[in-house]
Structure 1
Amino acid sequence: MYQEDTYDSYRMVDLESRVAAASPYDLVLVLFDGLLDELERMRGHIEAKRYLEKGRSVEKCVNILNGLSSALDFDSGGDVVTGLARLYDYMIYRLTDVSVTLSLEGVDEVVGLLRELREGWEGVRDARR
């Protein structure tokens, strides 16, 4: 347990330093990266049959997705924002299903969607520079 606590402390310091130096576009990428990391941990928990930890990972992922969704600007974002909201909702739905079915394919699907979304967001950030 000590190693996990040390790792979590390191991750928190790393996250705090990344957030402090981030632009709004980079903050979204930080959240995407954190979500991808947690999805990988979830996969490992499912494979190792650590169901309590899997549940915690699902909860963290859903919380990040809800945070991303709640930050969307529906007033000025148009169809893009509506599409993002639907995508976040779908990912939450899939992770809720994964929590019950323990489907690694479901985890992989969410990872694939998120990687594609992250790549697009990097393009938006780079175009704004």
Structure 2
Amino acid sequence: MYAKKGIRAYQKDSLRSDLASADPHRIIQLLMQGVLERCAQAKGAIDRRDFEAKAELLTRITDIINALNDALDPEVNPELVENLSSLYGYMNERVHQAGLEMRAEILDEVISLMLTIKSAWDQISDEAKVEAAQARS
């Protein structure tokens, strides 16, 4: 029990440290990673029939997906933003359905979609990051 608390405290401190020094690109990466981690945890909660953990984790997943959606900038690429916003909405629907039906495999689809988005995000060049930062200034 104490080991779990220690691990959680370390993870929170590590995340706070990452966020304190993170640029906007890195923050989005951390949010996407958060979705992936909580989906894996939620799958375990569903399999264990741990209703309280399942509800908490699915709510967190939805919150993070909503934060990703809110971070979209329609001025940059309106068509891409519209497509991503629709995809985020679909992912939230699937998360809700996984909770209602107690089907962990539905979260595999959310994981797959997020991995696809994150993979593309991770490939953004350093030059593009600098350009984006300058455009925001």
Q: What's the TM-score once normalised by structure 1's chain length?
A: 0.91
What residue in structure 2 maps to residue 52 of structure 1?
Answer: 52
Alignment deviations for residues 1-54 of structure 1 (CA, whole Å, 9 cap, x no partner):
544433322221111111122221111001111111111110111111111100
Amino acid at match of 1:96: H
Structure 1 residue 126, shift from structure 2 partner: 4.6
Q: Return the index of the structure with the highest Cα Rg.
A: 2
Q: Distance in 2 between matches of 1:28 and 1:76?
A: 16
TM-score, with normalisation over the residues of structure 2? 0.86
Alignment size in residue pairs = 129
Is there any run of 5+ residues in structure 2 with no aligned partner, and where?
Answer: 130-137
Once residues 108 and 127 of structure 2 are traced to their aligned partners in structure 1, the CA distance between those partners, rounded to angstroms, is 29
Is the aligned partner of 1:115 residue 2:101?
no
Cα distance in structure 2, aligned partners of 1:3 and 1:45: 19
1:71 Cα offset (Å): 1.4
Q: Which residue of 2 aligns with 1:66?
A: 66
Q: Which segments of structure 1 move beyond 6 Å, counting only runs of 4 or more?
A: none
Does residue 99 of the first structure (1) align with residue 99 of the second (2)?
yes
Q: Structure 1 unaligned segments of length 5 or more: list them.
A: none
